[in-house]
Each structure stands twice: as structure tokens, then as C-alpha cells.
Amino acid sequence: MTFEFKLPDIGEGVAEGEILKWMARVGDQIKEDQPLVEIMTDKVNVQIPAPRTGKVLQILAKEGDVAKVGQTIMVIDDGSGDGGAYPAPPSTLKPEHTAVATQPETQPVPSPQSVLATPATRRLARELGVDISQMKGSGPQGRITDEDVKRFASGSRSGPSTVTLQAALGPKPGAGPSEELVPLRGVRKTIAERMLKSLQTTAQVTHVDEADMTELVLLREAFKGSAEKRGVHLTFMPFIIKALVPALKEFPYVNSSLDERSGNIVLKKYYNVGIATDTEQGLVVPVVRDVDKKDIFELAGEIETLADRARKGQLTLDEVRGGTFTITNVGAIGGLFATPIVNAPEVAILGLHKIAKRPVVRDGKVEIRDTTFFSLSFDHRVVDGAYAARFTSRLIETVQDTRKLLSEVL
């Protein structure tokens, strides 16, 4: 009998996903739990396995389409009865063409819903009064691009007025260097939407303080040999994470979230630290869980593994959700300090920066010390400035005191 494979609820507030890649075609025999489709959510790319063994009868969402959670995206004959023909839902085809939907592409064109185009391209088509079902795409697999829509609109007699079209397309290109249009889509689009939403919905402030890292530099050097024997590369990050734990416990509102619907501040009694990671696709934030229960070597190995999976685009949804606090490290790139954007719904994010030798006054004398700046961005609705400053001071106190740090790292 036929089984409707619906886009599953993959949690963490994910309501929809873009179909990136089907790993089976109509007519293929599939086995339960084999990788079936790759979905891009607003958090991560995730592979969803086949829900059962059977034969693929229909694929109802093309690569590039955005499907809602609970929407049927594939029909499978599981062999338990008469699979029979499974007609496509009326919403995916024009009524007069339903009977010939499976015929070759010489048949009448499907409705706009079944045309391969991103949501942004569909929105542009609506703004320009263009019927994308009448178009032929120039993108991969026939996908309609923004440029296709603009070209079609420019040559359409029934298109919008010149003023409306010009407003949508922008000014005509003039003399000067050539321009390249890069569509805002995929991970880049997700980052744009999440960062904008974070700034629009939270009251963000950044507190900056200086930390003397001299003792930590020496401590890391002392532990590098032991780390190498364990097969891990020891950076400063595991030390900073361990120094965070007592500060987060002492200042629990930094390790919280605001539930606006219930009007409650949710204090987290667990410590899952997100590590902002730069990849070719954009910024992703894998989460290291229960950092208070792991030593620096365990943390170093896990951070290295997650960063590698992030750069290869292999992270699972479980590996990017459930964070309570985030760290972003731009120290290797350079700069003095920055003001990171809070990774909502978390309340705070810590920016780590370049460690450099600088003159420092100690006991009335100028010494050359290894110093850096910590930038703590926080949601002022939950955390006040004085509270944030005391939290940062507590973190720096642990980082600068070898004895306190040793009690945390092992």
C-alpha cells in the first residue's frame, strides 16, 4: 500500500526546510533508514533517512523547493498491499492537467508551485507581475533564477509599469567596473535572517575588558605535549571554556534564555557551549555539550571534530542545537576587538580576540605581557551592564590565576 512520507518535525523550532538533494528517484527501491533526502533548515543541513522499505512512486517536492513540516514530499509503495497509482495532490498541478502530469515535458506547464525556484525568486516574480509557470529557467536542473525573472519582466508586454519595474530592478548599469549578482540564499541567507532577527528582537549591548593571558600561554605550552600524545591539537579554547564554567554558575542569568510567550527567564543548569565556526558556506555554530563534565583534552578533541564536520557540511541537527552560551573566536584573523551578535534565543556571546604582547603596568613597573580583549555581547532585557561586567571580571580572574584554572581544566 502507499505510504506518504511527510517532512518530519526535526525540532528546535524548525518549521520548514529546503530540499537540497534527493538520493533516490521515482521507481527506485529503497531500504528503511538509508539516506533519502538532504534538507537545509535555518540551522543546519541534515540528511533524513527513509521511513520504511519500498518503491518510490512519486516525489512531490523538487530539489530547491521549500517544504513545510508535515507536508508530503514523497510517496512510497511499501509492498504491504496494492500500491496502485497515486495521483499528485490537486494543489501541485492545474486541474486540467492532472491526468497528464506524468507525461513528458511536452505536456502543458505545471502551476507555479511546482516550478523550481527559490522563495526569494518567487517573491521577486510576484513583485514584477511575472507568471513563473510561463518561464524556462537557466539555473541548475532548470531552476528559475532572479535574472530569468528580470529578463522575462523586461520583455513582457503585460508586465508592470516602467516605474515599478525600475524600482524592483534598481538603477540601470552605467559606466564603471562590471558587477556580479550573487543570490542571497542557502546558509548565507539563513545567517542574514537570524542575525537581523537577533538585533531586531533583543536589546544588545557589548562589554569589553582586557585579560592578561601570560600565565595561560605558559599553561597551554606545558599541556601541549600531553595533548599530542592523545592525538589532539590543544588551542586556548578549551581553557577559556573551562574558565567560563565557574563564571556561568555564579552568574546564571548569562546562561539563560527569555521565553517571551510565557514571560519567564529560563535559567539553564547545564552548560552547552556553541563554537562559532567559519566555513566556506558561512558561519555555523556546533555545540559542545556538558562542558563542565569534560577536561581540556576531551574538549579539545570534540571541538576539533565538530569544526571539521562543520567545514565538510556534515553536522547533524543534534550537533547545532541546545546551546546555552556561545563563543566566537577571531583571534587567528586579527583585529583589536569586535561586538559579536547574540546567538538568540541565548542571552550572551563571548568574543575572543588576538593575544599579543603589550606593555602592562604591574606594581608600578611596565612589563611586556601577553594580553587580549574579551567582548561580551548580551541581551539587556535579561542582563544588566553591571551584572555583565562582574561576570566578565570573574572569567578573567580565573583565566589569570593558574591555581584556579588548574582546578577547572582537569
Q: What is the four-CA torsion angle of 383, 385, 388, 392, rounded to 10 degrees?
A: 170
233 in active site: no
Phi-psi region of 39 (alpha: psi -120 to 50; beta: other; left: phi over 0): beta
Say if strands 348-352 and 325-329 run parallel, antiparallel, or are unpaired: parallel
Residue 231 identity: G
Cis link prior to 49 (omega < 30° from 0)?
no
Question: What is the DSSP secondary-structure string of 323-352?
Answer: -SEEEEE-TTT--S---PPP-TTBSEEEEE
Are 272 and 324 within 8 A, CB to CB? yes
Cα–Cα dist 168/127, whole Å: 8
Orientation of helix 214-229 relative to helix 237-250, angle to 10°: 120
104 is written with which cell numbers?
513528458
> Annotated active-site positions, please?
380
